[in-house]
Amino acid sequence: MTYEHILITRQGPVGIITLNRPEALNALNHALTSELSAAAGVLDDDGEIAAIIVTGSDRAFAAGADIKEIKDKSFAEVYEEQFITATWEGIARLRKPTIAAVSGHAIGGGCELALMCDIIIASETARFSLPETTIGIIPGAGGTQRLTRLVGKAVAMDMILSGRVLTAEEAVPMGLISRVAPAGTHLVEAIALANHIAVSSRPIVRLAKEAVNKAYETHLQEGLYVERRLLYSTFALDDRREGMNAFAEKRRPQFHNR
């Protein structure tokens, strides 16, 4: 497939999607989010790809939804076309590990897009904000839900009601992001992490991702039940046997992703 607003590259087992609307600071219009969702699905189905990175430019990961595109829409229009749900949520539904490599502005929908990924690695120049209330709307791509689950009610309220901007350094102890990288190295670090994940058994990584997401989505007892069932299911995999045998024999495992 060819894309107008994103770039797709592959580095071994790592698929990289780069948002590419530099003239609009990667503002997320319908065309871009449709391409992003489609490309992410292709990489998720690609047997050669073990992890997926979403990134932008050094100046901006993504400067939110494209306001020029949506400012004149009516309730009926956004409801009928399932604005956001129809295209944006594709990243959140991927089975493979996803990493957001963020530099510069991650504003509104850009912040929410990063939150849809499993891990966020941010340049020290990254800035995160959800300023939707300042222009008469509210976050609608998971910001009120995912952010609150990560940083707690007080910080989420502060960011969403006041438009507070978090630096990368502030975001780490709050649990919003995983790591801060020196300026210009965030993508390099994300690729290194993706390659490290790619060494492990892919079905087992998917099971682990499913278990963590269940903790994020449900109460403790239900999460423990799911975790236990997923653990038991690893005993049906050749890779589980290989991993344990390799540990016992003090050698590096040779996984075959089955």
H helices present in 47-201, as ranges: 67-70, 75-80, 109-116, 148-151, 153-162, 168-174, 186-198
Question: Which pLDDT value is given to residue 250?
Answer: 96
> What mean pLDDT is predicted for residues 216-220?
89
- E strands present in 22-103: 51-55, 60-63, 98-102
Among 90, 109, 142, 243, the active-site one is 109
Residue 208 pLDDT more than 90? yes
Q: In what order do the strands lie in the sheet with 6-11?
A: 6-11, 14-19, 51-55, 98-102, 119-123, 179-181
Residue 85 pLDDT more than 80? no
The conformation of residue 166, written as its DSSP 8-state character, comes to: E
Residue 83 pLDDT class (50, 70, 90 cuts): confident
The answer to whether 65 is a known catalytic residue is yes
**CB within 8 Å of 223: residues ≥ 6 apart:** 211, 214, 215
Question: Which pLDDT value is given to residue 78?
Answer: 85
The answer to whether 189 is a known catalytic residue is no
Among 40, 100, 110, 112, the active-site one is 112
pLDDT tens digits along 35-61: 999 999 999 999 999 999 999 999 999
d(CA 9, CA 63): 22
Lowest mean pLDDT among 16-20, 82-86, 180-184, 227-231: 82-86
Are 205 and 213 within 8 A, CB to CB?
no
Question: Which pLDDT value is given to residue 79?
Answer: 86
Among 15, 132, 143, 171, the active-site one is 132
The answer to whether 80 is a known catalytic residue is no
In this structure, the strands spanning 14-19 and 60-63 are unpaired
Q: Whole-prediction pTM value?
A: 0.94
d(CA 54, CA 100): 5
The answer to whether 132 is a known catalytic residue is yes
Are 128 and 114 within 8 A, CB to CB?
yes
d(CA 35, CA 185): 26
Tokens at 199, concatenated: 């060494």
**CB within 8 Å of 73: residues ≥ 6 apart:** 83
Among 60, 63, 65, 141, the active-site one is 65
